């Protein structure tokens, strides 16, 4: 869950079909998506599901957290529920009404009704690293509520069953040349494969799926909050005290000098190369330009320049790799810095803070970093 | 970053200052060893101001550098044209050594024995505070 997301939004994020209830499957999906431990599902059910229906309703959720249910959320759920009731099968809606009135004996039947809106979703999953499925055939029968479906089919007529079996193999008549070959033959439309596997191929899945960088969890030390003064430890701005603005989606920290104070521009910095001091500036009033993100700071690709080289034969042309100051950078720097500087001036010890920001950090004789409070 | 001292546009001419020491002083005391055998892959460092094993925690994982000069000019990383005689062997502080605040470090290549008794810089990064 992103920081700053309120509880109502969180509920809606987990309740993906907006039915007004969070089912175990939705919890499991969310758990996987956010890479939580497996205990997350059980914990939530223990916490929120008071009537032990197997689902967490919006009311239960709000009760446990001590929130007032939001009107628009409740209305959204009502709309969704009426949609389900209208669109779902007759048996489906019948079960949903009984579910709300009586305390269900089996959790699976409750889930069966809730999943009418989730098409194509597998109710079963393989145990990690094996071919075995988590739920047995009997459990799956219950989950899918096939007993209801079978009754319906039986009522419908036997012809649907036979039609299904007949449509399995489609035959066409083909004329065959040559003598004594029978002239024509019934040939299946789809040929059976030349060789069939003798056993189901064992797909080995890695014990923990590897994530690509963009899916990694971004962490931020508790000591670093927006407005914290950071000391840069390496790079050309080492020793400078800069203001932390926010963490970008790549995990890098966005900082600014401000430029007038110490010559450090809007810049990205890695957490490891920074000491967080206890000095905080209140930058709640500072709004950062939308365009300042990771792509903003990315260096221009040099690939195009390399490709263009043989055609444009100018050996004296300066290589494009040198950084060029662009107007938009100046604009954004000014916009952000003016806000940050007003925030610094507004703080109780503004004068000292300003000279503090201008100063450089360094170690002196007798100073022990392991004993220092930053 | 354009040189602030040379930038004509800025009203305030920031002086090009460099900070002072951004590393903690340490000495390379020797290799990890028993009485009669030594293992050169691990170096022992004594960090200034660190007297107890409990104090070492801050320095664990920190990168350390043995800086020395050679006779021939070698290219400076990051600046293609520049050449310098200064050379570095980089390493990291791995674990404490003993009870009196000494520390073990592993370098990308083993420290040369000539480095014994010489300065090793323990940087303040990767920082955990």
Instruction: Express each pLDDT in A53-105 by its tens digit.
Output: 778 888 888 777 877 777 777 777 777 777 766 554 444 444 444 444 444 44
Q: How far apart are CA B57 and CA A105, in angstroms?
A: 56
> Which domain, by its residues, includes A24?
7-81
Residue A223 near chain B (CB below 8 Å): yes
Contact check, Cβ <8 Å, B22/A236: no
Q: How confident is the model at residue B27 (pLDDT cuts 50, 70, 90)?
A: very high
Query: Virtual CA dihedral for A114, A119, A123, A127, nearest 10 degrees?
Result: -140
A169-219 tens-digit pLDDT = 788 888 888 888 888 888 888 888 888 878 877 777 777 778 888 889 999
| Domain count along chain A | 2
pTM above 0.80, yes or no: no
Q: How far apart are CA A370 and CA B103, in angstroms?
A: 14
CATH number for the domain including A265?
2.30.30
Token pair belonging to A292: 């300042």
Interface A-B, measured as beta-carbon pairs within 8 A, has a size of 74
Contact check, Cβ <8 Å, A275/B124: yes
Q: Using DSSP, state whether A244 is helix, strand or coil.
A: strand
| Helix extents (H) in chain A | 7-14, 24-34, 39-48, 58-65, 71-87, 90-101, 107-114, 137-144, 146-156, 159-166, 259-262, 294-297, 303-308, 327-346, 350-358
Over residues A111-129, the mean pLDDT reads 68
Q: How confident is the model at residue B28 (pLDDT cuts 50, 70, 90)?
A: very high
Return the H-helix or E-strand segment holding A186: strand A184-188
B53-79 tens-digit pLDDT = 999 999 999 999 999 999 999 999 888
Q: How confident is the model at residue A110 (pLDDT cuts 50, 70, 90)?
A: very low
Contact check, Cβ <8 Å, A238/B19: yes
Q: Which of A64, A81, A98 delimits the end of a domain?
A: A81
What lies within 8 Å, CB to CB, of A308 at 6+ separation is none
CATH number for the domain including A74?
1.10.238.10
Q: Which of A81, A98, A121 delimits the end of a domain?
A: A81
Q: How confident is the model at residue A276 (pLDDT cuts 50, 70, 90)?
A: very high
Domain boundaries in chain B? 23-123
Looking at the domain assignment, is residue A311 inside a domain? no
Looking at the domain assignment, is residue A13 inside a domain? yes
Q: What class, spelled out in words, does domain B23-123 have in CATH?
A: mainly beta
Phi and psi (nearest 5°) for B92? -140, 150
ipTM of the complex in this document: 0.86
Looking at the domain assignment, is residue A248 inside a domain? yes
B38-57 tens-digit pLDDT = 999 999 999 999 999 999 99
Q: What is the pLDDT of residue A84?
A: 62
Name residues 16-35 of chain A within 8 A of B (Cβ).
Answer: none
The percentage of residues in chain B with a pLDDT greater than 70, rounded to a whole number, is 88
For testing contact with chain A, the best of B13, B22, B92, B119 (most A CBs within 10 A): B22
Token pair belonging to A304: 């195009």
Which of A56, A16, A25, A31 minimizes the C-alpha distance to A134? A25
On the question of pLDDT at B8 being above 50, the answer is no
More confident residue, A154 or A266: A266
A204-214 tens-digit pLDDT = 777 777 888 88
Q: Which of A362, A364, A370 faces B59 most closely, judged by CB atoms?
A: A370
Residue A63 near chain B (CB below 8 Å): no
Looking at the domain assignment, is residue A332 inside a domain? yes
Q: Do the beta carbons of residue A241 and residue A361 sit within 8 Å?
A: yes
On the question of pLDDT at A44 being above 90, the answer is no
Residues of B with CB under 8 A from a CB of A: 1-2, 4, 12, 14, 17-24, 49-50, 55-59, 123-129
Looking at the domain assignment, is residue A170 inside a domain? no
Mean pLDDT of chain A: 79
Residues in chain A with CB shorter than 8 Å from the CB of B50 are 368, 370
A327-363 tens-digit pLDDT = 889 999 999 999 999 999 999 988 999 999 999 999 9
Lowest mean pLDDT among A109-118, A287-296, A347-356, B79-88: A109-118
Residue A173 near chain B (CB below 8 Å): no
Q: Do the beta carbons of residue A26 and residue A14 sit within 8 Å?
A: yes
On the question of pLDDT at A36 being above 90, the answer is no
Residue A330 near chain B (CB below 8 Å): no
Q: What is the pLDDT of residue A308?
A: 54
Q: Do the beta carbons of residue A267 and residue A253 sit within 8 Å?
A: no
Residues in chain B with CB shorter than 8 Å from the CB of A273 are 125-127
Mean pLDDT of chain B: 89
More confident residue, A122 or A100: A122
Q: Do the beta carbons of residue A85 and residue A23 sit within 8 Å?
A: no
Q: What is the pLDDT of residue A310?
A: 53
Q: How far apart are CA A231 and CA A197, in angstroms?
A: 63
Q: How confident is the model at residue A159 (pLDDT cuts 50, 70, 90)?
A: low
What's the gap in Å between the CA of A319 and the closest CA on chain B?
13
């Amino acid at each position: 869950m992103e920081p700053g997301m309120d509880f109502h939004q969180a509920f809606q994020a987990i309740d993906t079909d907006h039915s007004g209830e969070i089912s175990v499957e939705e919890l499991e999906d969310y758990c996987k998506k956010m890479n939580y431990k497996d205990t997350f599902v059980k914990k939530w059910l223990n916490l929120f599901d008071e009537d032990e229906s197997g689902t967490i309703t919006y009311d239960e959720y709000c009760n446990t957290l001590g929130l007032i249910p939001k009107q628009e959320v409740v209305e959204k759920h009502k709309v969704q529920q009426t949609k389900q009731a209208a669109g779902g099968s007759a048996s489906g809606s019948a079960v949903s009404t009984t579910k709300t009135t009586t305390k269900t004996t089996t959790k699976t039947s409750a889930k069966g009704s809730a999943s009418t809106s989730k098409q194509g979703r597998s109710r079963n999953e393989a145990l990690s690293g094996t071919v075995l499925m988590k739920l047995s055939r009997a459990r799956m029968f219950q989950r899918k509520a096939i007993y209801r479906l079978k009754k319906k089919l039986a009522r419908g007529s036997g012809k649907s069953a036979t039609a299904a079996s007949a449509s399995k193999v489609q035959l066409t008549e083909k004329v065959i040349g040559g003598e004594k070959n029978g002239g024509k033959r019934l040939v299946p439309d789809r040929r059976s494969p030349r060789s069939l596997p003798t056993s189901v191929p064992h797909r080995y899945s890695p014990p923990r799926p590897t994530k690509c960088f963009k899916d990694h969890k971004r962490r931020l030390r508790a000591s670093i909050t927006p407005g914290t003064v950071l000391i840069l430890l390496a790079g050309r701005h080492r020793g400078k005290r800069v203001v932390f603005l926010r963490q970008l989606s790549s995990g890098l920290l966005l900082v600014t000098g401000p430029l007038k104070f110490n010559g450090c521009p809007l810049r990205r910095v890695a957490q490891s190369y920074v000491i967080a001091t206890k000095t905080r500036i209140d930058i709640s009033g500072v709004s950062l330009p939308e365009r300042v993100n990771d792509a903003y700071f990315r260096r221009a690709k040099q690939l195009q320049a390399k490709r263009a080289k043989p055609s444009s034969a100018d050996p004296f042309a300066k290589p494009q790799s040198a950084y060029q100051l662009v107007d938009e950078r100046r604009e954004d720097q000014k916009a952000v810095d003016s806000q940050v500087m007003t925030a610094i001036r507004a703080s109780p010890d503004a004068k000292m803070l300003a000279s503090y920001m201008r100063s450089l950090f360094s170690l002196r004789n007798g100073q022990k970093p392991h004993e220092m409070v930053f | 970053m354009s040189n602030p001292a040379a930038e004509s546009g800025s009203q305030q001419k920031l002086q090009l200052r460099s900070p002072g020491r951004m590393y903690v002083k340490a000495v390379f005391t020797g290799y990890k060893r028993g009485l009669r055998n030594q293992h050169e892959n691990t170096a022992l460092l004594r960090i200034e101001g660190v007297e107890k094993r409990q104090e070492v925690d801050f320095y664990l994982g920190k990168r350390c550098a043995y800086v020395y000069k050679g006779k021939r000019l070698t290219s400076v990383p990051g600046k293609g044209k520049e050449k310098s005689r200064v050379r570095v062997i980089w390493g990291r502080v791995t674990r404490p050594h003993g009870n009196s605040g000494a520390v073990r470090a592993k370098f990308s290549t083993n420290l040369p024995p000539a480095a014994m008794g010489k300065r090793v810089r323990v940087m303040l990064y990767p920082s955990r505070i």
